[in-house]
Amino acid sequence: MKNLDDLLSEGVRGRRVLVRADLNVPLDGDKITDDGRVRASLPTISKLSAAGAQVVVTAHLGRPKGEPDPQFSLAPVAARLGELLHADVSLAGDLVGESAKSTVAGLADGGVALLENVRFDARETSKDDAEREALAADLVALVGDGAAFVSEGFGVVHRKQASVYDVAKKLPAYAGGLVLAEVEVLRTLTGDPKRPYAVVLGGSKVSDKLGVIKALLPKVDKLLIGGGMAYTFLAAQGHGVGSSLLQEDQIDNTKALLAEAADKIVLPVDIVAGDRFAADAEKRTVDADAIPEGWMGLDIGPRSVEQFAEILRGAGTVFWNGPAGVFEFPAFAEGTRGIAQAIVDSEAFSVVGGGDSAAAVRTLGLPEDGFSHISTGGGASLEYLEGKDLPGVQVLEGDA
């Protein structure tokens, strides 16, 4: 696929470049609590700006219902992007309307503008091809037929959406540095990874990761299970899990997985339980088969951390997606911290699969350069590892 370097070698001074970035950051009111995705987009935007392009960025935030919603405005993102670029970033008040047109028309060479949340337009996520193509046509008209498109939002390349897929069919399209790096890393994981290959999966629901578990089991040496999904596995073994998160409809599936790969699947042996879901909950550490009635598992325990860490320290390749517990509560963060630290301490080629795992690395103060790669797209990474096609990548490869 053509990439950013190819575009820069063609020359972009005075040319408009539409960049689809992933700037879907967590907010507390209008304050960004983790700017990792904004910082990840900087190299591509900076290179285009420095080369004299007129950079028009489109992105989404949250899940607005196809219409403008002030709580999902990209205004805080525009402000942070400007701070990091040390330059003014103009925010259009709409996506393809009069404000967007005047904002783009006013861009100087090297200037950067951010269009308002692309998901304020219901056509972005429409299942109707014609509706998505109409929005793509509006975006192309906004930047002009002589423009180029750079796909830099890896977190959305698994979605067939107007600003990800359809625009790439209407403009000369290039993979940004981030998307290119993500695809290369995932190809390493699915190719011939260095052994032993260990995967750590956490998060809340087995159902969300059933497909990737089935796809990975034949390929990995060890699959370590933590987070809320661990309690469905423990229940499948016949253990009581108190009031822990449990997907009863997935117990049969987890029983089948355990029967198929008991030698590969590693479950927690102890649990840090709380008497309620709260940062100040009373806590106690118990064996994994002895969670008290009315209590809930909120983290893996210290013996589990050591068991997982021993496997991870000896691994040649590690993929980690999903925290081991409720790391946002300091009392229940040590399992996630212990797993992350073990990966940092290892000599493995290590990939953090985006989402909450990436947020945990930053929240817990772990060194980002201690990992080989921190993905910006958890869902996209999992779908790639599951063997699914990523429409936003296929279109860049000319296969769509």
- What is the per-residue DSSP string for 167-184? GGGTS-EEE-HHHHHHHH
Cβ atoms of residues 377 and 347 within 8 Å: no
Q: Is 355 a catalytic residue?
A: yes
The one catalytic residue among 101, 170, 205, 313: 205
Q: Is 356 annotated as a binding residue?
A: yes
Q: Is 345 annotated as a binding residue?
A: no
Q: Is 240 annotated as a binding residue?
A: no
Contacts of 106 (CB under 8 A, 6+ apart): 90
Reference 125, options 76, 160, 94; nearest CA is 160
The backbone torsions φ and ψ at residue 18, rounded to the nearest 5 degrees and listed phi first, read -90, 120
Beta pairing class for 317-321 and 283-287: unpaired
Q: Is 297 annotated as a binding residue?
A: yes
Q: Is 37 a catalytic residue?
A: yes
Name 199's bridge partners.
223, 319
Distance between CA atoms of residues 124 and 1, nearest Å = 24
The one catalytic residue among 283, 370, 379, 388: 379
Give me the sign of the Cα torsion angle 211, 397, 114, 170. negative
In the block, residue with structure tokens 């009069």: 98
The one catalytic residue among 15, 16, 20, 37: 37
* Pair of tokens at residue 108: 């100087």
Q: Is 320 helix (H, G, I), strand (E, B) or coil?
A: strand
Q: Is 398 annotated as a binding residue?
A: no
Contacts of 168 (CB under 8 A, 6+ apart): 149, 151, 392, 395, 396, 400
Q: Is 24 annotated as a binding residue?
A: yes
Q: Is 151 annotated as a binding residue?
A: no
Q: Is 337 annotated as a binding residue?
A: no
The one catalytic residue among 228, 355, 377, 378: 355
Q: Is 107 annotated as a binding residue?
A: no
- Burial tier of 86 (Cβ tally within 10 Å: 0-12, 13-18, 19+): exposed
The H or E element containing residue 148 is strand 148-152
Q: Is 328 annotated as a binding residue?
A: yes
- Burial tier of 30 (Cβ tally within 10 Å: 0-12, 13-18, 19+): exposed
Q: Is 379 a catalytic residue?
A: yes
Cβ atoms of residues 283 and 274 within 8 Å: yes
Q: Is 274 annotated as a binding residue?
A: no
Q: Is 62 annotated as a binding residue?
A: yes
Cβ atoms of residues 36 and 362 within 8 Å: yes
Q: Is 16 annotated as a binding residue?
A: no
Count CB-CB contacts under 10 A for residue 105: 10
Q: Is 61 annotated as a binding residue?
A: yes
Q: Is 31 annotated as a binding residue?
A: no
Amino acid at 69: D
Binding site for substrate: what residues are annotated?
22-24, 37, 60-63, 119, 159
Binding site: what residues are annotated?
22-24, 37, 60-63, 119, 159, 209, 297, 328, 354-357
Binding site for (2R)-3-phosphoglycerate: what residues are annotated?
37, 119, 159
Binding site for ATP: what residues are annotated?
209, 297, 328, 354-357
Which residues are annotated as catalytic?
Answer: 37, 205, 355, 379
